[in-house]
Amino acid sequence: VIGVVIGKTDVRSFPDRKNIGTERFTFSFTIRDSPTYFINVHSWGREEYIRSLSESFRVGDCVTIENPLIQSKEAEREEKFNPVTPSCYKLLLSENHSVVKTSSCYETDTRLLSLLHLPVKDPQDYYSLGDIVANGQSLNGRILNVLAAVMSVSQ
């Protein structure tokens, strides 16, 4: 699979249920290869492997993923912590079998770079900040998708 990384989580650790007293590490990212299709990729393993893999690329990089495991996703649980994707599958990376290679999007395919800036939600499923300000009372308690641009960043 070749795609551009459009999102990425930080490395996290959890107690390993199989080996009491040790931890397993994980991080995930989302890749896109067309305007319509993108998929979440998860990796679990030893700290050294996960940190090294996570540090090997960043959002905006093009990656080639070789030998991932394809698994059905548990939509209810998984989409709480990851972007909702149009696929009913996810990719799992294994330290022993999978390889992630990075390359310049210009070397791979310049079309991939343009995918980085496309929204991942239906364009009709957003509220503007103006809508929220005007209708805040009636939207109270609802979960909304917001499409906005950062105008400035300061201390």
115: tokens are 């995918």
Q: What is the pLDDT of residue 129?
A: 84
Q: What is the pLDDT of residue 124?
A: 76
Q: What is the pLDDT of residue 19?
A: 80
48 within a domain of the structure (yes/no): yes
131 within a domain of the structure (yes/no): no
The least confident of 22-31, 84-93, 134-143 is 134-143
Q: Is the dihedral of CA 153, 57, 85, 95 positive or negative?
A: negative
Task: Write the pLDDT tens digit of every residue in 33-67.
Answer: 888 899 999 999 999 999 999 999 999 888 999 99
Bridge partners, residue 25, by sequence: 13, 45
Identify which has the larger pLDDT, 38 or 22.
38
Q: State the average pLDDT for the chain.
A: 85
26 within a domain of the structure (yes/no): yes
**By C-alpha distance, which of 27, 33, 96 is closest to 64?**
33
142 within a domain of the structure (yes/no): no
Owning domain of residue 26: 1-113
Confidence of residue 105 (pLDDT cuts 50, 70, 90): low
Q: How many domains does the chain have?
A: 1
Q: What is the pLDDT of residue 78?
A: 62
122 within a domain of the structure (yes/no): no
Q: Is the dihedral of CA 106, 6, 35, 69 positive or negative?
A: positive
61 within a domain of the structure (yes/no): yes
Confidence of residue 31 (pLDDT cuts 50, 70, 90): very high
Identify which has the larger pLDDT, 63 or 115.
63
CA angle 22–25–28, rounded 5-degree value: 165
28 within a domain of the structure (yes/no): yes
| Residue 3: CATH number of its domain | 2.40.50.140
Percent above pLDDT 90 for the chain: 35
133 within a domain of the structure (yes/no): no
The span from the CA of 154 to the CA of 40, in Å, is 32
